[in-house]
Amino acid sequence: MDNANRILVLFAHPALHKSWVNRRLIRAIGDLEHVTLHDLYEAYPSFHIDVKREQALLLAHDVIVFQHPFYWYSSPAILKEWQDLVLEHGFAYGAGGTALAGKKFLSAITTGGQQQAYSRSGANRFAIRELLAPFEQTARLCGMDWLPPFVIHGTHLLREAGQIDPYVRSYRLLLMGLRDDTVRWDGLSEGEYLYHNLERVLGPSPVTDHA
């Protein structure tokens, strides 16, 4: 795996003890080689973000993942603070700001609302892809390749392991595919979410998954 892509998962959840789904997701990827799980609330409980450290982490990885619950159509506060401070002019964008150019970006989010709520006729009036537009544009401004999001809807209804297991396994397999570069990039546009299109997107991995 000398040529593996390095993946940085920027995880943000201010109340992780209340989120069985997110706890399962991070446990599922915690042992993957070349995947760095970076819990922002654990690293910066006082929100004093070490900008140089964070920029060095970005430079050392090829795929950047924002994993978080979808709070008020956005992210938890620390991830917004992280973006405001770390994605500096001259580093991430603007004159000379090419540090992130060519890297892949993925949003991995959980929502309490079910999928049908995220539509023109649903309670939230907009599709997830529309609501994630600020993240997509941030990635594009930084020269990154935006990927369709990985979304788990209706998390408050997922009470049993059997309900969560398919999502957990898919998330692990997706990160393995991004790491091993077995993603079929031409299939990404065929689905709104990566999870719904996973079998068409991922080719065979050279590494067996024993999870």
Long-range contacts, stretch 87-90, CB < 8 angstroms, 24+ apart? 87/138, 87/142, 88/51, 88/55
Q: How far apart are CA 129 and CA 132, in angstroms?
A: 5
- 7-201 maps to CATH 3.40.50.740: no
- Please give the structure tokens belonging to residue 134: 């600020």
Amino acid 130: pLDDT? 94
Q: How far apart are CA 175 and CA 84, in angstroms?
A: 26
SS3 state of residue 161: helix
Give the phi and the psi of residue 207 in degrees, each rounded to 5.
Answer: -110, 130
Q: Please, are residues 83 and 107 in contact by the beta-carbon 8 Å criterion? A: no
Amino acid 157: pLDDT? 77
pLDDT tens per residue across all 211 residues of the chain: 568 999 999 999 998 777 778 899 999 999 999 999 999 999 999 999 999 999 999 999 999 999 999 999 999 999 999 999 999 999 999 999 999 999 999 999 999 889 899 999 999 999 999 999 999 999 999 999 999 999 999 887 777 767 888 889 999 999 999 999 888 776 665 567 776 556 666 665 544 444 3
